[in-house]
Structure 1
């Protein structure tokens, strides 16, 4: 399915699903850390793989990426991508103030738990709306150049759709915005099937 075939209604429907999932994620995170956090989804784009590097992020950008597989009635891969400075802000947001000694293992575990909450919230929102069974794998973290991580996701996952859905997330915490992006790489036909179920 070519990206040009997606209608504004279809994109708006996905954005609404993302807003519900993001709202649920923010609620869960707020309850976990005991501080108010909100989450916005300002933009959603569906791009061809080759256009991502030109429009979203250069291949040689250093990033932190957490990968989770979507399994069940539909399959795909989620990649949660942040720049290192945003990762530090998210880790600081998640960890209690009394934890002064932060080592690499703790930081990585914290980021993975955050992404687990976000992806699970998105999958729950989709599952409830379209009545499908979706589950996620255990998150894994990589630190590398954006191009290397994105291409590895394709190679490891065999045949995936040429289009990527990019959901830009903004966490609002203590008056600051912390940017991240969630990339969804679906198996061929998954998005088309989803839109058909939703009737858009």
Structure 2
């Protein structure tokens, strides 16, 4: 790990497992929205230096989709504080809006629909994490960025972290064909990672795909 951030392995494992649990429930909700079975990748962890947050904080759900990302962001407080986000490439965003009968992406109604999609998926994730911890985990009102989500997420993390290095835990959620694809990203607060490790109360099985 970078010297700018000190993380005990047990605490990192704890946060990664909680993210995995939340992502599994978000994948279930995603499958219900698109009407197809969905799966998730095993979460990966990346370390971002404070001086590189504005440029390095770019996550693309798939290598062949490197265009602008849309994203829905939440600041999370309570038992697992940090920033939680869902990022969608433009093609997946359009398919997702079409699947739920939404209008074109340029309309105000489409933006409202995308916020609601993010709210549904994150609510499932946060609820599962809260149940596992046995404590309250509270997401903020969703904030939407339609075309430059990576930069917006970087700015939010930098503002919340006051220039500190940050860990990003991310997992891809998609259907089997990869037509509906999103990236769930969690950036825990630094003081969250410094807390004494406490194991989750119960195990939750999720279907994962290793990349």
Q: TM-score range by the shorter chain?
A: 0.7 to 0.9
Aligned to 2:205: none
Unmatched tracts of structure 2, length 5 or more: 61-65, 201-211
Unmatched tracts of structure 1, length 5 or more: none
Q: CA RMSD in A?
A: 3.5
The structure 2 residue matched to 1:65, chosen from 65, 71, 88, is 71
Aligned to 1:91: 97
Q: How does 1:6-17 map to 2 (within 5 A)?
A: 7=9, 13-17=14-18
Q: How does 1:42-57 map to 2 (within 5 A)?
A: 42-49=42-49, 50=52, 53-54=55-56, 57=59
Match of 2:190, SS state, is coil
The structure 1 residue matched to 2:88, chosen from 69, 74, 82, is 82
Aligned to 1:105: 108
1:134 Cα offset (Å): 0.7
Q: How far apart are the structure 2 equivalents of 1:24 and 1:89?
A: 21
Match of 1:26, SS state, is helix
1:54 Cα offset (Å): 4.8
- Would you tell me which structure has more helix in proportion to its own residues? 1
Q: How far apart are the structure 2 equivalents of 1:42 and 1:118?
A: 18
Structure 1 segments (4+ residues) deviating >6 Å: none
Q: How far apart are the structure 2 equivalents of 1:124 and 1:164?
A: 22
Q: Tell which has more relative contact order, 1 or 2 (C-alpha 8 A, sep 6+).
A: 2
Count of residue correspondences: 190
Aligned to 1:40: 40
1:187 Cα offset (Å): 2.5
- Would you tell me which structure has more strand in proportion to its own residues? 1
* Normalised TM-score (structure 2): 0.69
Aligned to 1:27: 28
* Normalised TM-score (structure 1): 0.72
